Structure 1
Amino acid sequence: MAEAHQAVAFQFTVTPDGIDLQLCHEALRQIYLSGLHSWKKRFIRFKNGVMTGVYPGSPAGFMVVVVSYMSYNKYKQLDPSLGLIAKLGQHIPISRYMSTDSQKIVGGVLVGTGLWVTIIMIMRNVLKSLLSWHGWMHARHGSVSWSTRVWMVLVKVFSGRKPMLYSFQNSLPRLPVPSVKDTCRRYLESVRPLMDDEQFERMKGLAKDFEKNLGPRLQWYLKLKSWWASNYVSDWWEEYIYLRGRGPIMVNSNYYAMDFLYVFPTSIQAARAGNAIHAIMLYRRKLDRAQIKPHFSSCLFCLFVLFSSVPSLLTVGSSLSDTLQHMNESKHIAVYHKGRFYKVWMFYDGRLLLPREIEQQMERILADTSEPSPGEEKLAALTAGERTPWAKAREMYFSRGKNKLSLDAIEKAAFVVTLDDTEQRYKEANPVKSLDSYAKSLLHGKCYDRWFDKSFNLIVFKNGTMGLNAEHSWADAPIVGHLWEHVLSMDPLKLGYNEDGHCRGAPHPNLPGPQRLQWEIPAECQEVIEASLTVARTLADDVDSHIFPFSDFGKGLIKKCRTSPDAFIQIALQLAHYRDKGKFCLTYEASMTRLFREGRTETVRSCTMETCAFVRSMIRDETVICRSLLKQAAEKHQNMYRLAMTGGGIDRHLFCLYVVSKYLGEDSAFLKEVLSEPWRLSTSQTPLQQVELFDLVRHPEYVSSGGGFGPVADDGYGVSYIIVGDNLINFHISSKHSSPETDSHRFGGNIRQAMVDILALFQLDKKDIK
């Protein structure tokens, strides 16, 4: 582009008087600053690695232990080495090189170091034992038992003074392997409401045979893996659920996160991008420096691959599986606008670009009038379609030359930004259509304007609204949500905008412009791109998306019913689904297993016997018994959620048993049938994790409106919801137009009515609930 800047470090010419060397001091200065920045980052990572490695000890603790030990021995007139130097002297002529006093000092330091390491190991193992206790989860909401209080004090004592981001990683327990007997029992209990007597007796027989014969053998291998690996589930889950899938990841796997619902900080696209990109880079800096506040009971391993990742980078020459790769030290982002790709450096003068300087770079891209090169505009459709054609095209057309360099610039970028040329926003005059359009744009866009392989894409629309599209294989939604909460809290309140809507500050007078990526895409490759785009468009056009803010009430009134908000909503979803389809279905609710090392997710099977009994009583209008049945259903749901979070879930264990059976070449009718059952209702709550960042009492509008995902089953629904403060719950519903059984807007109406009907049971206006 016209703004391209090339810096040459030196030039020389040969003259009759000799060689005339001309140095460019600015270029050399930039090289020096770049190197200085790189070495600072390496030093910080080294220091953080040391601090994490000795946690819950510290260098200060080392000095205290060693000095105290030496002082005690000097006071008692004891040998500080405890005879260690004398024993070494029998084999090594120490006295030749060290005086007696030096020997005492060295011996004391060695023994003191051993004592310090012993204390660290004891504290670490005690902390691991404490974190393995999950009794605190069973306490009634709002009450804290004495055992929990004692546990919290002990955890604080053994956690050290200032834990860093990854300090707790080595102290987190491993995910336990449930017994085959317990898993089979819980499975049968979960499918009982979905089967008639004959079907259930048959499944009961299959489960009993598995439990007696093949199950124990598979369990032995799984136990062996659990002792050896950090987590017996995560690597297989990542590989077989995500990376080996050959279908499109767009819609089927990727998910999205939305902007504020009612707040529009600026309508200037470049300015919004400037603040958002700067906030994301600040988050990465905190991540690199391990300055993000850890939670003692949550594994944060996935944060390591949040940036500079290509989670679904295809193995060259392979059509069987993708690979998960992470590139360190990325100093640039990739930007897409109107069919053209750009590489934008995020550092200059040895520092991170300020928001106004990033806005300046975005303005340059928006002002560029050059046309896309042949095949460039729809290139990203390769990441939206089937995986095998993308694998073959990658090896054939993008493994060398100019195309490889440009592809590397995208894949090695910290993340991808799309400056979208459409406008999306919640509109009070047409809330349904505006939100549905907004969600579909974030989920799939035009099918060629998002790089779906990237860990996440920041999408900034023409009117300043923004959102994220995230790839799923590398981590689950709470990790991306943690980042997004940071961005939303930084953008309007801390970074802010001028009165004219631009980022604060001034443009840089000498800032080099973005670099336009160059491509040479032959006609044969363009045909592959068009074929992938056709597949992706068919998939995208079939998505029936509906988003609605439920503002009749929120968790404030639900808690007055003495019911868990999540259980309340899950039960409402069951009632809504029965009214929608006239039947119950296998229901998936995602829960986290981050209480364990490298934990990801587990399934809560929300359709229970207790919930079905409540729904039937509501359908029959048996108001008298509905409240007691609701209480039973809610308690059952909460117990199942706790089990899933503490390693007692069903589905990950059955999944791993199935993987082992395949490795052994054994067929199990029981496992095959279990894993082939479709999830016709797939649900997930988007948790608000950093409540301290938002004042939801004074500004309930300053929070994300959540996010969503595509339908899991062809004839089912996907439902995501976020509980925003005490008075708002946002629902994101997806299904497929091609299914005659589903309609997202109809289901949304049923959810709204179910929520209202369940709350009406408590007659809060009569003050029955205190």
Structure 2
Amino acid sequence: MAEAHQAVAFQFTVSPDGIDLQLCHEALRQIYLSGLHSWKKRFIRFKNGVMTGVYPGSPGGFMVVVVSYMSYNQYRRLDPSMGLIAKEHLLMFRYMSTDSQRIVGGVLVGTGLWVTIIMIMRNVLKSLLSWHGWMHARHGSVSWSTRLWLILVKVFSGRKPMLYSFQNSLPRLPVPTIKDTCRRYLESVRPLMEDERYERMEGLTKDFEKNLGPRLQWYLKLKSWWASNYVSDWWEEYIYLRGRGPIMVNSNYYAMDFLYVFPTSIQAARAGNAIHAIMLYRRKLDRAQVQPVTCSVTHIRLSLFYYFVPSMCRTLPQYECMFNSSRVPGVETDVLQHVNDSKHIAVYHKGRFFKVWMFYDGRLLLPREIEQQMERILADSSEPLPGEEKLAALTAGDRTPWAKARETYFGRGKNKNSLDAIEKAAFFVTLDDTEQRFEEDNPVKSLDSYAKSLLHGKCYDRWFDKSFNLIVFKNGTMGLNAEHSWADAPIIGHLWEHVLSMDPLKLGYTEEGHCCGEPHPNLPGPQRLSWDVPAECQEVIQSSLTVARNLADDVDSHIFPFIDFGKGLIKKCRTSPDAFIQIALQLAHYRDKKKFCLTYEASMTRLFREGRTETVRSCTLETCAFVRAMIGDETVREECLSLLKLAAEKHQNMYRLAMTGEGIDRHLFCLYVVSKYLGEDSPFLKEVLSDPWRLSTSQTPLQQVELFDLVRHPEYVSSGGGFGPVADDGYGVSYIIVGENLINFHISSKHSSPETDSHRFGANIRQAMLDILDLFQLEKKTK
């Protein structure tokens, strides 16, 4: 085979005349080009590390400071070293001329001045970013204090920031006071508890606030002074990595393709463009050329410029773990494995695993060349080895059996080599043998099937431990399945927006539907991975598959595009789109279950270093009052509208608190962890953390709006992504606000619960959205 020939660097034979070496020049050339590529990448990383390390300074700024300092001293005839060369104990100056001594001393002092300026700018910027008064400004108005703050942030942020430039300037996540957390907790549960239970909870809260709470808080304060973020490491470990249940459905989430556009129906071609775009994004990450994610300051326009607040946190570990990473199972806890570089991807098709190199001739493969490799895999008619076809089911079942099987059967030999090829791959690709897409004549069933396929597939055709899986279906539709422990959804969403924006418009396809370009005549083919799976291991695989299938079959998914109106019309109501949707979800849930429930809405804490998420408890007293008014028969429209505005204002305020580090749930979680370390039993914390989130919600943000022209090309919209239900008797709801006229909802629940029905809940959401909009009577105002 061609790949076997290319893999041999040289051959030798022993004869009476000696040893005859037959060098393979092509193989040696590939080794040379590979080494050159590796050293280029190392140099770029070193350079970026230097640039990030001195930010907001720069090498140009260093030259300006040093030359200006020495020129000033030359003009004033001063000693540029400020007497440094006169110190007798600096022996190195004794061997230099007087002019050399002055130059070296001036450079040293100038460098010290430059470093001092950098440290001052960093600390000033950190202080500026610790002020969050701009978030409480009334929409559409900008106070003078906010204007001044914006200008100072712009001045001290420097020019042309790189991906990790703001890491050293972001403030640390503050620890809320025990008193504030307890007060806000009681306020959040008041609408959910009867008077008797609430009074009992109030007593537990006051006892905790007075006795155990301050002691736990002291340890948490100590950690916040020592660690860069007092939440993130414990959150990653205890919420994600220590979980022993399946991560499929319970943790992993998915992202969908375009809703209405199908760039090509050729599976290999779609994979070629997508894989190439993903690898280009990885290269930008390696070079720190991905622009820091920023959050606009309520879209304030000041003079002729938009001013942005840097909000890139936890980016260093999250973005680094996007590629070349895998979650490795352990008996008690999993670990995240990451390698600095990987030059191949792992591909699964019809029960076989392949290793595909992404570089040749010292360069990244072009889309048509990647398509060529995918075509070879699709044309491969070999049968799976015993135990190979459903091997990935181990990653879909419980973690402990997978950890024990990995240690027993995959620790050496060909199994270890093949497993390493998967776990150390840049990412995982599944060439799915089913067809999925949105069908206009059957929208409900087609989208529901599409979502379930991305969420769990056949339970053995995705490697759920990989940082993410690219899934390309037989008809050219594609999607992602992402592991959750290494990062939150906006990180993978940033990558996916890049891929979708490049695929049809920048990379494009030929008229026949193939990738642009020509196949490579000498490209080595994919390498088929080899396995030796004994019968005992196959039994473990089958057991994990049974667990996974029971879980997958229980998932009730419903995805529907809400096309009646979007954020454009909601803004005319002078209401936050997110608050509008969250209140609609509360109204829909009450109509669905005839009761309120503890509601989780994910909020980002990007304003702080290594920030991940915080919870907005969306079921508030104000929202419940509005819902009761809406379902009442005698409530007038004006009263409902007034209650709606109060509920929306309350929701926005809670969202601000969560974003600015004043949420309660991460604080309570960390207090609980400290109590466990100290061996203290807290009835208050135990009850708080045992309450299930029966309505778990999340908004998928569209972060790079400049990549999509939804005015001219409204068809180029993604339908977002979703996740599985959090509670057995609850709902999971993800939504994405796309453009001005579309909101896509992803709803999940469990068939086994008699209380839930995703399609029924979807109908209630749609009706709730329409009923709330009707309160504003926009049609009458327009007339």
Q: TM (normalized to structure 2)?
A: 0.96
What's the counterpart of residue 365 of structure 1?
377
Where structure 1 has 5 or more consecutive residues not aligned to the other structure, the ranges are none
- How far 1:204 moved relative to its partner? 0.6
The answer to whether residue 386 in structure 2 is matched with residue 374 in structure 1 is: yes
The answer to whether residue 12 in structure 2 is matched with residue 12 in structure 1 is: yes
Between the two proteins, the alignment pairs up a number of residues equal to: 763
Letter in 1 for 2:693: W
What percent identity do the matched residue pairs reach? 88
- How far 1:428 moved relative to its partner? 0.6
2:559–2:747: 8 Å Cα contact kept in structure 1? yes
- How far 1:7 moved relative to its partner? 2.9
CA separation in 2, counterparts of 1:49 and 1:78? Answer: 36
Q: Aligned to 1:325, what secondary structure does the other structure show?
A: strand
What's the counterpart of residue 53 of structure 2?
53
What's the counterpart of residue 555 of structure 1?
567
What's the counterpart of residue 108 of structure 2?
110
What's the counterpart of residue 302 of structure 2?
none
2:2–2:524: 8 Å Cα contact kept in structure 1? no
- How far 1:733 moved relative to its partner? 0.2
1:3–1:364: 8 Å Cα contact kept in structure 2? no
What's the counterpart of residue 753 of structure 1?
767
- Following superposition of structure 1 onto structure 2, how do residues 425-504 of structure 1 map, counting pairs within 5 Å? 425-504=437-516
Moved more, 140-149 or 98-107: 140-149
Letter in 2 for 1:39: W
Q: 1:527 to 1:493 in 2, by over 3 A?
A: same
- Following superposition of structure 1 onto structure 2, how do residues 327-346 of structure 1 map, counting pairs within 5 Å? 327-346=339-358
- How far 1:297 moved relative to its partner? 2.1
- Following superposition of structure 1 onto structure 2, how do residues 384-395 of structure 1 map, counting pairs within 5 Å? 384-395=396-407
CA separation in 2, counterparts of 1:724 and 1:63? Answer: 47
- How far 1:4 moved relative to its partner? 5.4
Letter in 2 for 1:640: M
- How far 1:537 moved relative to its partner? 0.1
What's the counterpart of residue 238 of structure 1?
236
CA separation in 2, counterparts of 1:298 and 1:21? Answer: 55
Q: Aligned to 1:767, what secondary structure does the other structure show?
A: helix
CA separation in 2, counterparts of 1:523 and 1:95? Answer: 75
- Following superposition of structure 1 onto structure 2, how do residues 125-164 of structure 1 map, counting pairs within 5 Å? 125-164=123-162
Q: Aligned to 1:182, what secondary structure does the other structure show?
A: helix
| Deviation by residue 1:450-479 (Cα, 9 ceiling, x = unmatched) | 000000000000000000000000000000
Match of 2:677 among 645, 663, 666: 663
| Deviation by residue 1:82-102 (Cα, 9 ceiling, x = unmatched) | 111111xx2244454111111
Q: Aligned to 1:121, what secondary structure does the other structure show?
A: helix
2:734–2:746: 8 Å Cα contact kept in structure 1? yes
CA separation in 2, counterparts of 1:94 and 1:234? Answer: 48
Letter in 2 for 1:162: K
What's the counterpart of residue 693 of structure 1?
707
Match of 2:689 among 671, 675, 680: 675
- How far 1:257 moved relative to its partner? 0.2
- Following superposition of structure 1 onto structure 2, how do residues 310-325 of structure 1 map, counting pairs within 5 Å? 310=326, 312-315=327-330, 319-325=331-337
1:545–1:744: 8 Å Cα contact kept in structure 2? yes
| Deviation by residue 1:205-261 (Cα, 9 ceiling, x = unmatched) | 110000000000000000000000010000000000000000000000000000000
- How far 1:202 moved relative to its partner? 0.7
The answer to whether residue 194 in structure 2 is matched with residue 196 in structure 1 is: yes
The answer to whether residue 632 in structure 2 is matched with residue 616 in structure 1 is: no
CA separation in 2, counterparts of 1:662 and 1:618? Answer: 44
| Deviation by residue 1:713-746 (Cα, 9 ceiling, x = unmatched) | 0000000000000100000000000000000000
Letter in 2 for 1:91: H
What's the counterpart of residue 305 of structure 2?
none
CA separation in 1, counterparts of 2:224 and 2:183? Answer: 22
CA separation in 2, counterparts of 1:2 and 1:66? Answer: 58
2:6–2:27: 8 Å Cα contact kept in structure 1? no
Where structure 2 has 5 or more consecutive residues not aligned to the other structure, the ranges are 295-309
Letter in 1 for 2:40: K
2:85–2:93: 8 Å Cα contact kept in structure 1? no
What's the counterpart of residue 277 of structure 1?
275
Q: Aligned to 1:171, what secondary structure does the other structure show?
A: coil
CA separation in 1, counterparts of 2:743 and 2:707? Answer: 19
Match of 1:579 among 591, 596, 603: 591
The answer to whether residue 601 in structure 2 is matched with residue 603 in structure 1 is: no
CA separation in 2, counterparts of 1:233 and 1:19? Answer: 63
Letter in 2 for 1:288: D
CA separation in 2, counterparts of 1:41 and 1:606? Answer: 46
CA separation in 2, counterparts of 1:54 and 1:116? Answer: 10
CA separation in 1, counterparts of 2:733 and 2:392? Answer: 27
Q: 1:94 to 1:45 in 2, by over 3 A?
A: closer
| Deviation by residue 1:58-98 (Cα, 9 ceiling, x = unmatched) | 111111111111111111111111111111xx224445411
Letter in 2 for 1:345: W
- How far 1:8 moved relative to its partner? 1.8
CA separation in 1, counterparts of 2:16 and 2:198? Answer: 98
1:435–1:547: 8 Å Cα contact kept in structure 2? yes
Q: Aligned to 1:264, what secondary structure does the other structure show?
A: coil
CA separation in 2, counterparts of 1:93 and 1:638? Answer: 65
Q: Aligned to 1:487, what secondary structure does the other structure show?
A: helix
- How far 1:148 moved relative to its partner? 2.1
- How far 1:112 moved relative to its partner? 0.5
| Deviation by residue 1:419-454 (Cα, 9 ceiling, x = unmatched) | 000000000110000000000000000000000000
Q: Aligned to 1:151, what secondary structure does the other structure show?
A: helix
What's the counterpart of residue 203 of structure 2?
205
Letter in 2 for 1:34: S
What's the counterpart of residue 751 of structure 2?
737
Question: How big is the alpha-carbon RMSD for the aligned residues of Structure 1 and Structure 2?
Answer: 1.1
